[in-house]
Amino acid sequence: MNINHILVPVDFSEGTPHAIEYAAGLGRKLSSRITLLHVMEPVTPPPDGLILDFDAYDHALAEKARKRLDELAADLDPVAGTALTSGNP
């Protein structure tokens, strides 16, 4: 079997570290690279304007997710990449 790339969906739930470890073990056996992917659900601004700077809030959420992804990928072997996108997970 020739698998060059393993895509690991990451939702930051309790099971996330187990899924990553499983993928890392498989990646080592198959000499595959790994990408951790997190899909951020779009956040709709509240109608009452409780969040005054919604763009800054949305950016802060993305930065927090990016940081968490990078932390999860830092200790992985084989070398892991990360991807962050917005959409319906």
Q: Model-level pTM greater than 0.85?
A: no
Q: What is the pLDDT of residues 3-48, one digit of tens each?
A: 999 999 999 999 999 999 999 999 999 999 999 999 998 877 777 6
Q: What is the extent of the structural domain holding 31? A: 5-86
How far is CA 21 from its chain centroid? 14
Number of structural domains (the chain) is 1
Residue 88 has pLDDT above 90, yes or no: no
pLDDT of residue 71: 92
Distance CA 86, CA 89 (A): 8
Question: Which CATH number covers residue 43?
Answer: 3.40.50.620
